[in-house]
Amino acid sequence: LWDETRGVFNEALVFKGVVETPQEKWFETYSAHDLVAVPCPCPQLGIDWARQQAETPNTLYDYRGAWSVLYRGDWQDGHRLYCTEHEIQALTRAGLNLFADPHRGTHPHDLWRVCAAFAH
* pLDDT tens track for 70-101: 666 555 555 677 778 888 889 889 998 776 66
Instruction: Provide, rounded to the nearest whole percent, the portion of the chain with pLDDT above 90.
Output: 31
Buried b (16+ CB within 10 A) or exposed e, 49-73: bbbebbeeeebbbbeebbebbeeee
Q: Is the pLDDT of residue 26 over 60?
A: yes
Task: State residue 35's pLDDT score.
Answer: 87
Strand partners, 42: none
